[in-house]
Chain A
Amino acid sequence: MDHFPTNWGRPRNDAWDPYATYPIHQRPNNAPKDAFADGVQRTQQPIVTGTSVLAIKFKDGVMMAADNLASYGSLARFRDIQRLHPVGNHTVLGAGGDMSDFQYLQMILDELMVDEFAAADGHALGPAEIHNYLSEVMYARRSKMNPLWNSLLVGGFKDGKSFLSYVDLLGTTYSASTLATGYGAYIAQPLLRRAVEGREHELTADQARKILEDSMRVLFYRDARSLDQYQLATITKDGVEITESRKLETTWDFAEGIRGYGAQTQ
């Protein structure tokens, strides 16, 4: 029995069944076939991936951090890639997940920003608009079963207001004063919440920087797909600033006395 109602009552296929010898329920599948279906590739899994992105709100705006590693499975493949991307003068996009999908997003956003600039109508897209645009793109792609395999944070500051929101490959969105993607959602998010919740309007830039740096350090100690080189983005009324790569200070003294961790051979 053909259990697909879409096949029921279809005309028979002369190529397969020239004399209608098959009873209806045994007929070969006559549904129209896309000759190129086998050639269409869809993202079924991420390939070159970035790990966590962290972001918090503070007194003057939003701060975001991501390391510089793009992994190929367990191989630390690219160790100098940027996962924080400025979009216009008020917004930063941070990405975990597939890096080629992220680069594609950078391209369509750049196209969008050129179009908006060319309109020269006195309006500029802010973080809220860019986040909404991204959520529509991500949701549309998941609905085509062809997702862009990313977890994204959108942070920004415009018209005196901070903005921080998340969107992922399913089109799921949410906002909060602290956000973390990937492994960071498990390891860094509790630390960020303890340090930030209820103090969003008191934290200075220096304090915010320290909170993120400490969290990035914890992630480097525990997340095997992370790196001790990372960048920080700060978005305030003065615009977007993304630092050069910086290195985390780490200590490994504790390993000295532990068997199997240090240089002991026996």
Chain B
Amino acid sequence: MTSIGTGYDLSASTYSPDGRIFQVEYAGKAVENSGTAIGLKVKDGIVLAVEKLVHSKLLVPGANRRIQTIDRHIGLAAAGLPADGRTVANRARDEAANLRETYRSPPTLKDLVDRLGHFVQMYTLYSSVRPFGTSTILGAVDKTGPSLYVIEPSGVFYGYHGAAVGKGRQLAKTELEKLKLSELTAREAVIEAARIIYLVHEDAKEKEFELEMSWISPESGGLHVAVPQELVDEAETKAKEELASGLE
């Protein structure tokens, strides 16, 4: 970045001469250092998985969740600054509740990310605020079927079949592209998601991590809930086996 040190990177309210907003790009850097989060949109549901890096053995297992529930049928996985992720999630809950109250029906994810995108974008306009250091994957099964979006620190959002953010996103995306996502069931996708998280963790092996997974599937009754423990165990066992055989 040639313009670094020229003063154009101090505020989100100032463009650099070549039309960039450095504060937003730095926010993107905050995401790149975070544990990977992925989302899979499949035939009958959504699977979210997070490689939650555990920075201290003193932490209680399960602390600092990075997958959160927004509405009955909407889940969110955040990568980047955990506190920023929670702020976005809280706003998402408020917006979802407001959509529910206005239309008296479960909001579609499209409507929700539209509002959230606006919210995140507002933090790229003023010198008094800092853009969110978080990319969030939102998944839902609504009246339009399964849907999956990523909102970036700039406020831009795209819909995906499979999404990956955080440190291992490149490798994860490569793996996601190999899958026939539209033919998988949610149950099968859980196995794949665990495998991908374990695979991308190979690059940061010295660090401990917890696998956090949630889904919205026929088995969960269309609700966004944690993947049942027995299925998580099965997926983790398979992921470890595959990793071991691949390394031989």
Q: Decide yes or no whether A111 CB sits under 8 A from chain B.
A: yes
Contacts of B132-148 to chain A: CB distance below 8 A: none
The interface on chain A, measured as residues whose beta carbon lies within 8 A of the other chain's beta carbons, has a size of: 9
Contact of A118 among B93, B101, B104 (CB under 8 A): B93
Instruction: List the one stretch of B4-12, B35-43, B63-71, B200-208 in contact with chain A.
Output: B63-71
Scoring B residues 64 to 108 as 1 if CB is less than 8 Å from chain A, else 0, what string do you get? Answer: 010011111000000000000000000001001100110010000
Residues of B within 8 A of A117 (CB): 69, 72, 223
Nearest CB on A from B56, distance (A)? 23
Nearest CB on B from A240, distance (A)? 14
Question: Does the CB pair B225–A115 fall under 8 Å?
Answer: no
Q: Decide yes or no whether B226 CB sits under 8 A from chain A.
A: yes
Nearest A residue to B96 by beta-carbon distance? A114
Nearest B residue to A120 by beta-carbon distance? B69
Residues of B within 8 A of A120 (CB): 65, 68-69, 225-226
Nearest B residue to A103 by beta-carbon distance? B104
Point out which of A110, A111, A119, A120 has the most chain B C-beta atoms below 10 A from its C-beta: A120
Q: Decide yes or no whether A31 CB sits under 8 A from chain B.
A: no
Question: Does the CB pair A115–B69 fall under 8 Å?
Answer: no
Q: Decide yes or no whether A145 CB sits under 8 A from chain B.
A: no
Q: Decide yes or no whether A107 CB sits under 8 A from chain B.
A: yes
- Distance between Cα atoms of A114 and B96 in the complex (Å): 10
Nearest CB on B from A235, distance (A)? 19
Nearest CB on A from B182, distance (A)? 28
Question: Does the CB pair A118–B226 fall under 8 Å?
Answer: no
Question: Does the CB pair B70–A111 fall under 8 Å?
Answer: no
Question: Does the CB pair B72–A114 fall under 8 Å?
Answer: yes
Residues of B within 8 A of A110 (CB): 100
Q: Please, could you name 27 A-B residue pairs with CB atoms under 8 Å apart, sorted by A?
A: A107-B101, A107-B104, A110-B100, A111-B97, A111-B100, A111-B101, A114-B71, A114-B72, A114-B96, A114-B97, A114-B100, A115-B93, A115-B97, A117-B69, A117-B72, A117-B223, A118-B68, A118-B69, A118-B70, A118-B71, A118-B93, A119-B69, A120-B65, A120-B68, A120-B69, A120-B225, A120-B226
* Nearest 7 Cβ contacts at the A-B interface: A118-B69, A120-B69, A118-B93, A117-B72, A114-B71, A114-B72, A111-B97
- Residues of A that sit less than 8 Å from B by CB: 107, 110-111, 114-115, 117-120
- With A111-B101, A114-B96, A117-B223 known, 11 other A-B pairs at CB within 8 A are A114-B97, A115-B93, A117-B69, A117-B72, A118-B69, A118-B71, A118-B93, A119-B69, A120-B65, A120-B68, A120-B69
